[in-house]
A and B are shown apart, each in its own frame.
Chain A
Amino acid sequence: KQEVTQIPAALSVPEGENLVLNCSFTDSAIYNLQWFRQDPGKGLTSLLLIQSSQREQTSGRLNASLDKSSGRSTLYIAASQPGDSATYLCAVRLPGANNLFFGTGTRLTVIP
């Protein structure tokens, strides 16, 4: 059974700092991995999607990497801003399945 873990559960950083969020999964035979952002009282917004054949994806100040063999992904946020404060979730999809297995999330607070 696929299990997805995110460490740390919560993180506070001062504005302007670069930071890394971690995601690990137990079954390395994934189809793709997706990072989401969730703001309080709102749904999930997709940030980056990495196919199993890819090593990383970038969007603006965000960079996500994938090491499938070790079952790990990282989300790097450069020059953090207070507006980045949210919960960040990673999720993996298995081959032949459409549903996502989610981690428990990292709650990020960027202090002005």
Chain B
Amino acid sequence: EAGVAQSPRYKIIEKRQSVAFWCNPISGHATLYWYQQILGQGPKLLIQFQNNGVVDDSQLPKDRFSAERLKGVDSTLKIQPAKLEDSAVYLCASSSLRGLALEQYFGPGTRLTVT
């Protein structure tokens, strides 16, 4: 079974520029998550989708961050304009609705550096 795919793996941009990240979850997983992990901290949930609907985006800075999951499969996360404090690793995860565990599987992440 293929894992969660993310691209790009690394991105360096200047502040006030825009950037987009892509995630392809495990096939058949209905739930998709985007997490932000700042250096030295644990991941923090930004947004959660179930199929193509948003379940939780309470921690998403909506003035500059946006995300979509068209057709309930792939997802993109966009930052516009970027700030220095957005430097972090952006992790995508997915989980199946089947079973009790609801275990999340993580992609390799995209490391964003804002200069």
Interface residues of A (CB under 8 A from B): 4, 32, 34, 36, 41-46, 49, 51, 89, 91, 93, 97-100, 102-105
Indicate if the CB atoms of A102 and B102 lie closer than 8 Å: no
A49 and B42 contact, Cβ closer than 8 Å, known pairs A98-B55, A98-B95: no
Indicate if the CB atoms of B91 and A43 lie closer than 8 Å: yes
A24→B5 CA distance, assembly (Å) = 31
Q: Which residue of A lies closest to B109 (CB)?
A: A43
A4 surroundings in chain B (CB, below 8 A): 42
Per-position 1/0 for B30-53, Cβ under 8 A of A: 010100000011111100101000
Asked if B103 is an interface residue, CB under 8 A from chain A, the answer is yes
Asked if B56 is an interface residue, CB under 8 A from chain A, the answer is yes
Point out the residue from A32, A36, A97, A103 that lies within 8 Å of B101, measured CB to CB: A32
Give chain A's interface secondary structure class: strand
A91→B44 CA distance, assembly (Å) = 11
Indicate if the CB atoms of B33 and A99 lie closer than 8 Å: yes
A93→B95 CA distance, assembly (Å) = 13
A97 surroundings in chain B (CB, below 8 A): 56
User: Can you name 12 extra interface pairs (CB under 8 A) apart from A46-B103, A99-B48, A102-B42?
Assistant: A43-B4, A44-B91, A46-B104, A46-B105, A98-B33, A98-B55, A98-B95, A98-B102, A100-B43, A102-B43, A103-B42, A104-B41
A98→B103 CA distance, assembly (Å) = 9
Indicate if the CB atoms of A93 and B102 lie closer than 8 Å: yes
Indicate if the CB atoms of B42 and A104 lie closer than 8 Å: yes
A91→B93 CA distance, assembly (Å) = 14
Q: Give me 12 A-to-B residue pairs in the complex whose CB atoms sit less than 8 angstroms apart, sorted by A's number.
A: A42-B109, A43-B6, A46-B105, A49-B101, A51-B100, A51-B101, A89-B43, A98-B50, A100-B104, A102-B42, A103-B42, A105-B42
A42→B106 CA distance, assembly (Å) = 10
Q: Which residue of A lies closest to B47 (CB)?
A: A99
Q: Which 3 A/B pairs are nearest by Cβ-Cβ distance?
A: A102-B42, A43-B106, A44-B106
